[in-house]
Structure formats: C-alpha cells, structure tokens
C-alpha cells in the first residue's frame, strides 16, 4: 500500500482533533490517541498497530479513479476511519473484549464509564473531520450530500450492531437475518467509503452507484471470508487460535448454516455452545458437524458470489485516473487474497 497516502490519512485524522490548549483535557484526548495506537497506556507517544486503514484508502482511490482531487477526499477518509475506531471502542465494551490489536482495550484500562465517554468523543471527532470538506475545496452542496450519507451510514452501523447483540445466544438466527446484520455492521462503512468517495468526484449517478455497489459487495465478501478464517484460518496468519469462533461460541455464518442443516446434531451444537468453555475436543466435534453439513463450502460459495458481484460493479466504472483505478484494483486483490 502507498505509505505516503497512509501518512496523509493519518495527518488528516490528527487535524480533526481539537488543539491541546487545555492541559486538563490532555488525558481525555490521550485516551483516544491510545486507541488509535498513537500513545501507550501511560499516554506517552507510541507507534502501535493501528490497522491497515483500508476504508479511508478505498475512499481516496474511489475519488481519484473518477477524476476527483485527493485533497477533497481526505476529510472523508479521516472521518470514516475515526468512525470505524469509535465503533470499535464501543464494540469492545459491548463484547466485554479486554484486548484489541494485541493491546488492552480502552475500557479495560480506564473503566466502562470512561470508555463510553472516550468513544462518544471519538464519534464527535469523526464529524469534525467531515466538517473540513468545504475548507478542502468541496462545493457546499456536495459536502452536504456526503455528510448526509455519512450520518445514514452511522445509523446503519448501529442497526447492525443491534442485530448482532440481539442475536447472541439465539440458535435460530436465520441466514437472511445474519446477512442483513453484516450488510449493516460491516459492509455499510466500506460501501460509504467507495460510494461517498465517488460522490466527491462526480455527479454521474451510474458511476456513483457502481462504486457504491462495489463497496457493499466487497464488504460482504470480506466479512464472509473472515467468518471462514475465524474457524479454519492458520493461527500464524490470523493471529487467533484455530477455530477461534467455535471456542468463543459465536454463531457466525458457517455455524448459522450448520445449525439449520444439522438435523439431530443440533443437540450437539446446543450442548457445546451452552457450556462456559469449549474444549479442544468439543471444537473438533463441531468441526465434524460443519463438515457434515457442508457449511464451509456453502459459505465460501456465498463469499465468491459477492466477490464476483464486486468485480462486476468495478467493471462498470469508467476510470478517469487510470493509475488510481489500478491501485484500487490492486488493493481489492490483496484484501480478497488475504481473506482466502
């Protein structure tokens, strides 16, 4: 990935933070910067793992592909990444997760109440980033359309999180409901990156819609591949234990499919998932059920269908900036290759 572009996104993210004029508030913003990997737990400067910034890169490349100015896309790119990070702070609280990216989560260090407030602050900082669109040269009418799309995306992500939490412990979650959940919780933000990035470059509805469809399908394919990796992925590549989702008793898409088709083996799934802990022996038994139901192959087929839909949408794009289009294609290839 283009390191210069990544550094531009990070600079735009930093610009969205209020100035550190009041030392009394330094700790508050320092906690946000800790989550972003810019500080350590003592709030000293740090350069920890912060993710690959895929969503902001997609926003910039979508804009550039259709002839837009990278400077116009940077506030959107920063806002989308900050929105993603805000959602992770709250996700960690809602999921009771003590670690993220190999470090302690915000709430696990400073407490639940502080963690919620830090997430709320990051939410506001994400909006501050988008308020820089007009300053970057975007026409006010276009900036308003993008801001409206950003707000709608936030609501969809929250809807998806609600469906995710509401489905916890429910063995009868349907495939359709699960896909509705990931369409909102995961795919919506990637769709916003490509669709709103395109909107900054052109008023051509066909091109904007193609970029938007591309992002949604890419997001669905990526999440479906992730579901496969979280069960069958190589721990050295994923950084997670083998069969991690089974050990954590998650009803991800393979298990949703398996339960729907397991027949008498449903009782086995329920027995194991109702335990406080899943042993290695029980995980192996679940893997056997997944094999019997063909769930791995089935989900891989769904992911491939979304992959193909993403590429079909990308094929409808008429690039203005061919170098940016090639970079976009290369980024997509690397994402889906990683997910296999």
Percent of the chain with pLDDT over 90: 86
Sign (positive/negative) of CA torsion 34, 29, 185, 202? negative
pLDDT in tens, 215-225: 999 999 999 99
**Token pair in block for residue 311:** 């590429």
Average pLDDT for residues 199-213, to the nearest whole number? 98
pLDDT, position 307: 94
pLDDT in tens, 101-141: 889 999 999 999 999 999 999 999 999 999 999 999 999 99
pLDDT, position 338: 58
pLDDT, position 1: 59
Distant-in-sequence, close-in-space partners of 130: CB < 8 Å, separation ≥ 6 = 75, 76, 79, 143, 146, 147, 150
pLDDT, position 340: 45
pLDDT, position 339: 45
pLDDT in tens, 272-291: 999 999 999 999 999 999 99
Percent of the chain with pLDDT over 70: 98
Q: In this model, does residue 196 exceed pLDDT 50?
A: yes
pLDDT in tens, 24-49: 999 999 999 999 999 999 999 999 87
Q: In this model, does residue 165 exceed pLDDT 60?
A: yes
Which string of DSSP letters, residue by residue, matches 27-65?
Answer: HHHHHHHHHTTSB-TT--B--------HHHHHHHHHHHH
Distances (CA, A) of 141 to 102, 131, 145, 170, 205: 42, 13, 6, 45, 16
Q: How confident is the model at residue 175 (pLDDT cuts 50, 70, 90)?
A: very high
Q: In this model, does residue 228 exceed pLDDT 80?
A: yes
The mean predicted confidence, pLDDT, of the chain is 94
pLDDT, position 49: 76
Cα distance between residue 221 and residue 217, in whole Å = 6
Q: In this model, does residue 334 exceed pLDDT 90?
A: no
**Token pair in block for residue 44:** 């000293």
pLDDT, position 236: 81
Q: How confident is the model at residue 20 (pLDDT cuts 50, 70, 90)?
A: low
Average pLDDT for residues 190-201, to the nearest whole number? 98
Least confident of 50-64, 184-198, 208-222: 50-64
| pTM (predicted TM-score) | 0.94
Cα distance between residue 178 and residue 164, in whole Å = 8
């Amino acid at each position: 990935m283009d390191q210069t572009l990544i550094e531009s996104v990070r600079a735009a993210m930093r610009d969205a933070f209020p100035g550190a004029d009041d030392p009394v508030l330094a700790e508050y913003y320092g906690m946000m910067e800790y989550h972003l990997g810019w500080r350590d737990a003592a709030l000293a400067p740090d350069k920890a793992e912060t993710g690959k910034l895929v969503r902001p890169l997609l926003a910039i490349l979508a804009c550039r592909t259709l002839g837009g100015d990278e400077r116009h896309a940077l506030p959107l790119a920063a806002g989308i990444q900050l929105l993603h990070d805000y959602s992770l702070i709250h996700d960690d609280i809602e999921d009771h997760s003590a670690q993220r990216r190999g470090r302690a989560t915000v709430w696990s260090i400073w407490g639940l109440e502080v963690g919620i407030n830090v997430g709320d602050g990051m939410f506001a900082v994400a909006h501050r980033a988008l308020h820089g669109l007009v300053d970057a040269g975007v026409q006010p009418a276009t900036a308003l359309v993008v801001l409206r799309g950003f707000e709608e995306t936030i609501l969809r992500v929250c809807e998806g999180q609600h469906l995710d939490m509401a489905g916890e412990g429910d063995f009868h979650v349907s495939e359709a409901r699960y896909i509705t959940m990931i369409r909102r919780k995961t795919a919506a933000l990637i769709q916003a990156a490509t669709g709103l990035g395109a909107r900054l470059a052109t008023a051509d509805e066909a091109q904007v819609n193609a970029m938007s469809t591309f992002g949604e399908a890419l997001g669905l394919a990526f999440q479906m591949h992730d579901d496969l990796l979280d069960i069958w992925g190589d721990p050295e590549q994923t950084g997670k234990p083998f069969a991690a989702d089974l050990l954590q008793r998650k009803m991800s898409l393979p298990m949703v499919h398996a339960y729907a088709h397991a027949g008498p083996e449903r009782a086995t799934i329920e027995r194991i998932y109702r335990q406080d802990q899943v042993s290695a022996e029980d995980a192996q038994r679940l893997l056997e059920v997944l094999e019997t139901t063909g769930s791995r192959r089935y989900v891989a087929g769904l992911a491939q269908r979304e992959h193909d839909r993403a590429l079909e949408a990308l094929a409808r794009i008429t690039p203005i900036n061919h170098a940016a289009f090639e970079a976009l294609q290369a980024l997509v290839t690397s994402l889906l290759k990683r997910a296999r």
